[in-house]
Structure 1
Protein backbone atom coordinates (compact mmCIF):
# COMPACT_ATOMS: atom_id res chain seq x y z
CA UNK A 1 0.00 0.00 0.00
CA UNK A 2 2.87 2.38 0.86
CA UNK A 3 4.37 1.78 -2.60
CA UNK A 4 1.09 2.66 -4.32
CA UNK A 5 0.76 5.92 -2.34
CA UNK A 6 4.40 6.79 -3.04
CA UNK A 7 3.91 6.03 -6.74
CA UNK A 8 0.82 8.26 -6.94
CA UNK A 9 2.67 11.04 -5.11
CA UNK A 10 5.62 10.86 -7.54
CA UNK A 11 3.35 10.87 -10.59
CA UNK A 12 1.35 13.84 -9.28
CA UNK A 13 4.56 15.72 -8.55
CA UNK A 14 5.66 15.44 -12.18
CA UNK A 15 2.21 16.17 -13.62
CA UNK A 16 1.12 19.07 -11.38
CA UNK A 17 4.45 20.88 -10.79
CA UNK A 18 5.06 21.95 -14.41
CA UNK A 19 1.54 23.39 -14.57
CA UNK A 20 2.12 25.44 -11.43
CA UNK A 21 5.50 26.68 -12.61
CA UNK A 22 4.10 27.99 -15.92
CA UNK A 23 1.00 29.58 -14.42
CA UNK A 24 1.08 33.27 -13.53
CA UNK A 25 -0.53 33.88 -10.19
CA UNK A 26 -2.39 37.13 -9.93
CA UNK A 27 -2.10 39.76 -8.77
CA UNK A 28 1.47 40.23 -9.91
CA UNK A 29 3.75 42.98 -11.14
CA UNK A 30 6.77 43.21 -13.38
CA UNK A 31 9.48 45.75 -14.11
CA UNK A 32 9.50 47.10 -17.66
CA UNK A 33 13.08 47.55 -18.81
CA UNK A 34 14.31 49.86 -21.59
CA UNK A 35 14.94 48.32 -25.01
CA UNK A 36 17.71 50.87 -25.62
CA UNK A 37 20.23 50.33 -22.81
CA UNK A 38 21.32 53.99 -23.14
CA UNK A 39 18.02 54.96 -21.46
CA UNK A 40 19.42 54.13 -18.03
CA UNK A 41 16.84 56.20 -16.10
CA UNK A 42 13.80 54.97 -18.04
CA UNK A 43 11.83 52.26 -16.24
CA UNK A 44 8.28 51.13 -15.89
CA UNK A 45 6.06 48.71 -14.09
CA UNK A 46 3.00 46.70 -15.03
CA UNK A 47 0.41 45.45 -12.57
CA UNK A 48 -1.70 42.48 -13.73
CA UNK A 49 -4.74 41.35 -11.77
CA UNK A 50 -8.37 40.20 -12.00
CA UNK A 51 -11.12 42.84 -11.80
CA UNK A 52 -14.86 42.48 -11.35
CA UNK A 53 -16.57 45.10 -13.52
CA UNK A 54 -20.10 46.47 -13.29
CA UNK A 55 -22.75 45.38 -14.07
CA UNK A 56 -21.88 42.07 -12.46
CA UNK A 57 -20.18 39.87 -15.00
CA UNK A 58 -17.31 37.44 -15.08
CA UNK A 59 -13.87 38.58 -13.92
CA UNK A 60 -11.53 40.11 -16.46
CA UNK A 61 -7.84 40.87 -16.39
CA UNK A 62 -6.53 44.38 -15.86
CA UNK A 63 -3.13 45.55 -17.06
CA UNK A 64 -1.99 48.86 -15.55
CA UNK A 65 1.26 50.47 -16.71
CA UNK A 66 3.37 53.26 -15.25
CA UNK A 67 6.46 54.59 -17.06
CA UNK A 68 8.97 57.08 -15.63
CA UNK A 69 11.83 59.14 -17.06
CA UNK A 70 10.78 58.38 -20.62
CA UNK A 71 12.27 60.52 -23.38
CA UNK A 72 10.10 63.16 -25.02
CA UNK A 73 8.10 61.19 -27.65
CA UNK A 74 8.91 63.73 -30.39
CA UNK A 75 12.63 62.96 -29.95
CA UNK A 76 11.92 59.73 -31.89
CA UNK A 77 10.12 61.42 -34.80
CA UNK A 78 6.44 62.09 -35.45
CA UNK A 79 5.18 60.87 -32.05
CA UNK A 80 3.44 62.84 -29.33
CA UNK A 81 2.49 60.27 -26.68
CA UNK A 82 2.94 56.76 -25.31
CA UNK A 83 0.65 53.75 -25.30
CA UNK A 84 0.55 50.58 -23.30
CA UNK A 85 0.70 47.54 -25.52
CA UNK A 86 0.21 43.95 -24.40
CA UNK A 87 0.10 40.98 -26.73
CA UNK A 88 0.17 37.23 -27.08
CA UNK A 89 2.34 36.59 -30.17
CA UNK A 90 0.35 35.61 -33.27
CA UNK A 91 -2.91 35.57 -31.26
CA UNK A 92 -4.18 38.89 -29.87
CA UNK A 93 -3.04 42.35 -28.75
CA UNK A 94 -4.39 45.18 -26.63
CA UNK A 95 -3.34 48.81 -26.79
CA UNK A 96 -4.33 51.70 -24.55
CA UNK A 97 -3.31 55.27 -24.10
CA UNK A 98 -0.91 56.35 -21.38
CA UNK A 99 -1.50 59.80 -19.94
CA UNK A 100 1.25 62.14 -18.67
CA UNK A 101 1.23 63.70 -15.24
CA UNK A 102 1.69 67.45 -14.79
CA UNK A 103 5.40 67.22 -13.93
CA UNK A 104 7.29 69.65 -16.14
CA UNK A 105 10.60 68.12 -17.16
CA UNK A 106 9.83 64.41 -17.22
CA UNK A 107 6.20 63.41 -16.71
CA UNK A 108 5.15 60.01 -15.44
CA UNK A 109 3.04 58.17 -18.05
CA UNK A 110 0.25 55.90 -16.79
CA UNK A 111 -2.81 54.05 -18.02
CA UNK A 112 -4.81 50.86 -17.76
CA UNK A 113 -6.95 48.40 -19.69
CA UNK A 114 -9.65 46.35 -17.91
CA UNK A 115 -11.23 44.20 -20.63
CA UNK A 116 -8.87 41.25 -21.13
CA UNK A 117 -10.59 37.87 -21.22
CA UNK A 118 -7.74 35.80 -22.69
CA UNK A 119 -5.54 33.47 -20.67
CA UNK A 120 -2.48 35.50 -19.63
CA UNK A 121 0.28 33.15 -20.76
CA UNK A 122 3.28 34.25 -22.83
CA UNK A 123 2.10 37.87 -22.74
CA UNK A 124 4.55 40.64 -23.61
CA UNK A 125 3.85 44.05 -22.01
CA UNK A 126 5.36 47.19 -23.54
CA UNK A 127 5.37 50.96 -23.47
CA UNK A 128 5.40 52.14 -27.09
CA UNK A 129 5.58 55.46 -28.87
CA UNK A 130 2.36 56.70 -30.42
CA UNK A 131 0.97 59.47 -32.61
CA UNK A 132 -2.41 60.38 -31.11
CA UNK A 133 -3.63 62.07 -34.33
CA UNK A 134 -2.82 59.31 -36.82
CA UNK A 135 -3.10 56.50 -34.21
CA UNK A 136 0.20 55.18 -35.54
CA UNK A 137 1.94 52.95 -33.02
CA UNK A 138 5.71 53.29 -32.89
CA UNK A 139 8.54 51.17 -31.54
CA UNK A 140 8.75 49.78 -28.04
CA UNK A 141 10.65 51.81 -25.43
CA UNK A 142 10.08 49.56 -22.36
CA UNK A 143 9.23 45.87 -22.29
CA UNK A 144 8.86 42.73 -20.17
CA UNK A 145 7.27 39.29 -20.39
CA UNK A 146 4.62 38.04 -18.00
CA UNK A 147 7.03 35.24 -17.09
CA UNK A 148 8.80 37.96 -15.06
CA UNK A 149 5.60 38.77 -13.16
CA UNK A 150 5.95 38.29 -9.38
Structure 2
Protein backbone atom coordinates (compact mmCIF):
# COMPACT_ATOMS: atom_id res chain seq x y z
CA UNK A 1 0.00 0.00 0.00
CA UNK A 2 2.83 2.42 0.85
CA UNK A 3 4.51 2.01 -2.57
CA UNK A 4 1.14 2.72 -4.23
CA UNK A 5 0.68 5.95 -2.24
CA UNK A 6 4.26 7.01 -2.99
CA UNK A 7 3.77 6.38 -6.71
CA UNK A 8 0.45 8.26 -6.67
CA UNK A 9 2.07 11.21 -4.89
CA UNK A 10 4.97 11.29 -7.38
CA UNK A 11 2.61 11.08 -10.34
CA UNK A 12 0.39 13.88 -9.06
CA UNK A 13 3.35 16.13 -8.24
CA UNK A 14 4.72 15.79 -11.77
CA UNK A 15 1.32 16.54 -13.32
CA UNK A 16 -0.05 19.24 -11.00
CA UNK A 17 3.14 21.15 -10.14
CA UNK A 18 3.93 22.26 -13.73
CA UNK A 19 0.37 23.56 -14.09
CA UNK A 20 0.78 25.69 -10.99
CA UNK A 21 4.10 27.16 -12.11
CA UNK A 22 2.48 28.48 -15.30
CA UNK A 23 -0.25 30.33 -13.39
CA UNK A 24 0.38 34.04 -13.04
CA UNK A 25 -0.64 35.79 -9.84
CA UNK A 26 -2.17 39.22 -9.70
CA UNK A 27 -0.85 41.66 -10.63
CA UNK A 28 -0.07 40.36 -14.11
CA UNK A 29 1.78 42.25 -16.79
CA UNK A 30 2.40 41.48 -20.43
CA UNK A 31 4.28 43.13 -23.25
CA UNK A 32 2.07 44.04 -26.20
CA UNK A 33 3.80 43.35 -29.49
CA UNK A 34 3.08 44.99 -32.86
CA UNK A 35 0.85 43.08 -35.26
CA UNK A 36 2.82 44.63 -38.15
CA UNK A 37 6.42 43.53 -37.61
CA UNK A 38 7.65 46.60 -39.56
CA UNK A 39 6.67 48.78 -36.56
CA UNK A 40 9.96 48.03 -34.80
CA UNK A 41 9.72 50.83 -32.18
CA UNK A 42 6.05 50.27 -31.39
CA UNK A 43 5.45 48.45 -28.09
CA UNK A 44 2.99 48.43 -25.25
CA UNK A 45 2.21 46.91 -21.91
CA UNK A 46 -0.86 45.81 -20.01
CA UNK A 47 -1.21 45.64 -16.24
CA UNK A 48 -4.02 43.62 -14.68
CA UNK A 49 -4.72 43.79 -10.95
CA UNK A 50 -7.49 43.90 -8.33
CA UNK A 51 -8.88 47.25 -7.13
CA UNK A 52 -11.42 48.25 -4.50
CA UNK A 53 -13.27 51.42 -5.45
CA UNK A 54 -15.68 53.72 -3.66
CA UNK A 55 -16.18 54.93 -0.15
CA UNK A 56 -16.64 52.60 1.62
CA UNK A 57 -14.83 50.28 -0.78
CA UNK A 58 -17.01 47.90 -2.77
CA UNK A 59 -16.10 44.30 -3.53
CA UNK A 60 -12.91 43.75 -5.47
CA UNK A 61 -12.95 44.32 -9.21
CA UNK A 62 -10.26 43.86 -11.80
CA UNK A 63 -8.48 46.75 -13.48
CA UNK A 64 -6.75 46.58 -16.83
CA UNK A 65 -4.40 49.44 -17.70
CA UNK A 66 -2.77 49.70 -21.13
CA UNK A 67 0.14 51.83 -22.31
CA UNK A 68 1.28 52.15 -25.94
CA UNK A 69 4.43 53.91 -27.13
CA UNK A 70 5.68 54.95 -30.58
CA UNK A 71 2.29 54.16 -32.10
CA UNK A 72 1.76 55.38 -35.66
CA UNK A 73 -0.67 58.23 -36.24
CA UNK A 74 -4.15 56.64 -36.11
CA UNK A 75 -5.08 58.30 -39.43
CA UNK A 76 -2.41 56.19 -41.17
CA UNK A 77 -4.94 53.32 -40.87
CA UNK A 78 -7.78 55.27 -42.52
CA UNK A 79 -10.63 57.26 -40.95
CA UNK A 80 -9.34 56.89 -37.38
CA UNK A 81 -8.35 59.60 -34.91
CA UNK A 82 -7.56 57.79 -31.64
CA UNK A 83 -6.68 54.52 -29.95
CA UNK A 84 -8.69 52.24 -27.69
CA UNK A 85 -7.73 49.47 -25.34
CA UNK A 86 -9.57 46.28 -26.13
CA UNK A 87 -9.57 43.11 -24.02
CA UNK A 88 -11.57 39.98 -24.63
CA UNK A 89 -12.14 36.52 -23.27
CA UNK A 90 -13.08 34.95 -26.62
CA UNK A 91 -16.67 33.72 -26.93
CA UNK A 92 -17.47 35.16 -23.48
CA UNK A 93 -17.03 38.92 -23.01
CA UNK A 94 -15.05 41.93 -24.18
CA UNK A 95 -14.18 45.39 -22.88
CA UNK A 96 -13.12 48.49 -24.77
CA UNK A 97 -12.02 51.84 -23.44
CA UNK A 98 -10.54 55.06 -24.74
CA UNK A 99 -6.86 55.72 -24.57
CA UNK A 100 -5.55 59.26 -24.26
CA UNK A 101 -2.34 60.73 -25.68
CA UNK A 102 0.29 62.50 -23.62
CA UNK A 103 1.08 66.08 -24.73
CA UNK A 104 4.27 65.32 -26.72
CA UNK A 105 4.09 66.75 -30.23
CA UNK A 106 5.60 63.78 -32.01
CA UNK A 107 4.78 60.19 -31.13
CA UNK A 108 2.75 60.68 -27.93
CA UNK A 109 2.35 57.87 -25.44
CA UNK A 110 -1.23 56.56 -25.34
CA UNK A 111 -2.71 55.22 -22.10
CA UNK A 112 -6.06 54.14 -20.69
CA UNK A 113 -7.70 51.93 -18.10
CA UNK A 114 -10.91 50.12 -17.23
CA UNK A 115 -11.77 49.31 -13.58
CA UNK A 116 -15.04 47.36 -13.59
CA UNK A 117 -14.13 43.80 -14.63
CA UNK A 118 -15.65 40.98 -12.58
CA UNK A 119 -14.79 38.03 -14.85
CA UNK A 120 -11.97 35.55 -14.20
CA UNK A 121 -8.95 36.65 -16.17
CA UNK A 122 -8.19 33.48 -18.14
CA UNK A 123 -7.14 33.46 -21.80
CA UNK A 124 -7.51 37.22 -22.09
CA UNK A 125 -6.48 38.74 -25.39
CA UNK A 126 -5.34 42.35 -24.92
CA UNK A 127 -5.05 44.77 -27.84
CA UNK A 128 -4.46 48.41 -28.71
CA UNK A 129 -6.72 49.23 -31.67
CA UNK A 130 -7.30 52.30 -33.80
CA UNK A 131 -10.66 53.98 -33.29
CA UNK A 132 -12.87 56.71 -34.74
CA UNK A 133 -14.05 58.74 -31.75
CA UNK A 134 -17.01 60.26 -33.65
CA UNK A 135 -18.49 57.08 -35.15
CA UNK A 136 -17.13 54.80 -32.39
CA UNK A 137 -15.91 52.46 -35.12
CA UNK A 138 -13.15 50.18 -33.88
CA UNK A 139 -10.39 49.40 -36.35
CA UNK A 140 -7.69 46.76 -36.59
CA UNK A 141 -5.28 45.93 -33.74
CA UNK A 142 -1.87 47.58 -33.74
CA UNK A 143 -0.52 45.86 -30.60
CA UNK A 144 -1.61 42.60 -28.97
CA UNK A 145 -0.78 39.67 -26.73
CA UNK A 146 -2.59 37.08 -24.59
CA UNK A 147 -2.55 36.33 -20.86
CA UNK A 148 -3.27 32.65 -20.23
CA UNK A 149 -4.12 32.83 -16.49
CA UNK A 150 -4.08 35.78 -14.11
CA UNK A 151 -5.56 35.13 -10.68
| Residues 55-64 or 107-116, more deviating | 55-64
Unaligned runs of 5+ in 1: none
Tell me by how many angstroms 1:4 deviates.
5.5
> How many angstroms apart in 2 are the aligned matches of 1:86 and 1:125?
4
Q: Is the 8 A contact 2:101 2:108 kept in 1?
A: yes
Q: How does 1:18-29 map to 2 (within 5 A)?
A: 19-21=19-21, 23-29=23-29
Tell me by how many angstroms 1:18 deviates.
5.3
Counting matched residue pairs gives 149
Tell me by how many angstroms 1:9 deviates.
2.4
Partner of 2:125: 124
| Residues 5-14 or 19-28, more deviating | 5-14
Select the structure that is richer in strand: 2
Runs of 4+ more than 4 Å apart:
none
Partner of 1:88: 89
Q: How does 1:66-145 map to 2 (within 5 A)?
A: 66-145=67-146
Tell me by how many angstroms 1:57 deviates.
2.2
> How many angstroms apart in 1 are the aligned matches of 2:9 and 2:61?
34
RMSD (CA atoms): 2.0
> How many angstroms apart in 1 are the aligned matches of 2:23 and 2:31?
18
Cα-to-partner distance string for 1:95-148 (whole Å, 9 max, x where unaligned): 000000000011000011111111111100000000001110000000000139
| Residues 6-15 or 91-100, more deviating | 6-15
Cα-to-partner distance string for 1:22-54 (whole Å, 9 max, x where unaligned): 533111211100000111110000011111122
Q: Is the 8 A contact 2:121 2:149 kept in 1?
A: no
